[in-house]
Amino acid sequence: MDAQALDEQSIGAAGERLSTAPAQDPETASTVLPALGLTGWVRWFWRQLTSMRVALILLFLLSLAAIPGSLIPQTGVDEMKVNAFKESHKTLTPIYEKLQLFDVYTSVWFSAIYILLFVSLIGCILPRSTQFVGQLRSRPPGAPKRLTRLPAYTTWRTEAEPEGVREAAVKVLRKRRFRVHASGDAVAAEKGYLREAGNLVFHIALIVMLLAFAAGQLFRSEGGKLIVEGDGFANTLSQYDDFRSGSLFALDDLGHFSFELKEFTGTYEATGPQRGTPRTFEAAVTYSEKGGPDKNAVIRVNEPLKVDGAKVYLIEHGYAPVVTVRDGKGEIVSQGPVPLLPLDANVTSQGVLKVKDGYKDKSGKRDQLGIPMFFVPTFAGEGQGQMFSVFPALVDPRLSVSAYHGDLRADSGVPQNVYQLDTSKMKPFKDARGDILKKQLKPGETFTLPDGAGSITFEREIKEWASFQISQQPGNGWALTGAVAAILGLMGSLFIQRRRVWVRAVTAEDGVTVVEMAGLGRSESSKLAEELAELADQVHSVVPTAPDAGAAHTDDAENPEPAEEAVPAEGASQ
């Protein structure tokens, strides 16, 4: 029999496992294993799946599996980016599609890891919970025969009766919130159950987070809407520019609210090395919920409007020059703000105005106009043959326009980008040299089309637009709760030490009472010896050392070190 076996035999019940980890079956620890049948292999697979090692591996794999979803455009997030990626990467696209890398979070392999992790955590929690409840209901184990073999130990002799010593020890230990049980000539105490409780809370919190993530994916909805100052939005499907939802989301789940963009305010650093850096992005809105009264609110970046279970985020902003288009007879065929998409940090923007109905050429024949636009809020490039912006605010705005006439192909059945112009069935207006006719306009100026085809006026009013994201994520609150609980549980399992203390008092042959105190922790720590010294001092203050043993108490109680031959029990090394 080796030294470890002797130690375990001497410590006895005191060396029971101090964790809720499932104990190893002694039969499976044998070096000679019987042949496994189907039931045996199923049991073996279940034990492997529900082990902490496999749970950590699956959690690591889930983190790795989420990386492609962050690096590769996802269909459920931005389908336009996915299409652009496919156009630019003809070789990779078939491979990514087979691997489901454009739909990572709904892919078979991601779902498999997710479900296996879920089952593994449940399999870890159930036996641990049962064992933990059993430990809470059980009494602390009795004292081993030889307390000197425990990691922390001290002793002294006193004239008090053994019963008085044990009563004093019970009071001291209960005051320090130990679970105490007196049995025979010793008092057994135990503390630190929050360590295992924290471990269980951590695992349960992970399950809550997984469930919240699943609910967020299945019942979520997310859409975008670009709104010009003065325009509004009602939360119905037809109002969205783009909309995505989970497989279990129903349109009846959409929140009942509407809002109007009253004014957008953007300010920028005017001088210094950070010139042009945004300082303020605010969208002043008026909103109503479920037909109630109008309310005012200000939406800022990372400060969404919360209304009827949804969050309205401010995502982007830009300019919408007000443009008036007249036909050859001077009749207004289009008038209003034209949202343009920013291209850089200085809000250089471009877009298209499409006049589908109402326009007639010089002979009175119905026609369609396509007007590409290029806008800069602070003009630069005079005399250089180009225009660009040097500041994002409206300091010296300019609008460059050209014009095409013909078929916009709006009725071709092929989806079109409202910010791009299909010129395959259109002809440009040209100047006398045969070049495409272009004109750079200041606010209030007009571009007259040739041959009496009409005119384009850049009005003095320039509006701003804001892009909003409206999201409903039903699992967010649970996910946050699970994350907080997981952190608290992990802190408890890491920083709380499970330990046991025994106090034995017996009458020696000379009639003096011998007091022994010893401690055992789940892991070796100097704090165990320090705590035992504090407990010994408190007990000693009630039952002091006998007059002929004062020196012995000073050496032992203040510096309770384990005996030279003491070896921690199995539970102390876990």
Other beta carbons within 10 Å of 179: 17
Average pLDDT score over residue span 40-65 = 85
pLDDT recorded at residue 379? 94
* CA–CA gap between residue 448 and residue 482 (Å, rounded): 64
Q: How many Cα atoms are found within 13 Å in the side-chain-facing hemisphere of 144?
A: 25
Q: What sign does the dihedral 70-72-77-80 (CA atoms) show?
A: positive
Lowest mean pLDDT across 79-93, 96-110, 468-482: 79-93
pLDDT recorded at residue 20? 53
pLDDT recorded at residue 569? 36
Percent of the chain, pLDDT > 70?
A: 86
* CA–CA gap between residue 350 and residue 356 (Å, rounded): 19
Q: What is the pTM of this model?
A: 0.66
User: Is the pLDDT assigned to residue 505 strictly greater than 90?
Assistant: yes
Q: What sign does the dihedral 79-83-84-86 (CA atoms) show?
A: positive
Q: Which one-letter DSSP state was computed for residue 503?
A: E
Q: Are 229 and 282 in contact (CB under 8 A)?
A: no
pLDDT recorded at residue 64? 92
User: Is the pLDDT assigned to residue 218 strictly greater than 50?
Assistant: yes
Domain 139-191+497-541 listed as CATH 3.30.310.80? yes
User: Is the pLDDT assigned to residue 466 strictly greater than 60?
Assistant: yes
Domain assignments of the chain as residue spans, ordered by start: 39-132, 139-191+497-541, 221-472
Structure-derived torsion over alpha carbons of residues 308, 314, 316, 320, reported in degrees to the nearest 10? 70
Q: Are 528 and 501 in contact (CB under 8 A)?
A: no
Task: With CA atoms as reference, report the closest residue to 307 among 327, 283, 291, 329.
Answer: 291
Q: Are 458 and 444 in contact (CB under 8 A)?
A: yes
Q: Are 376 and 348 in contact (CB under 8 A)?
A: yes
User: Is the pLDDT assigned to residue 442 strictly greater than 90?
Assistant: yes
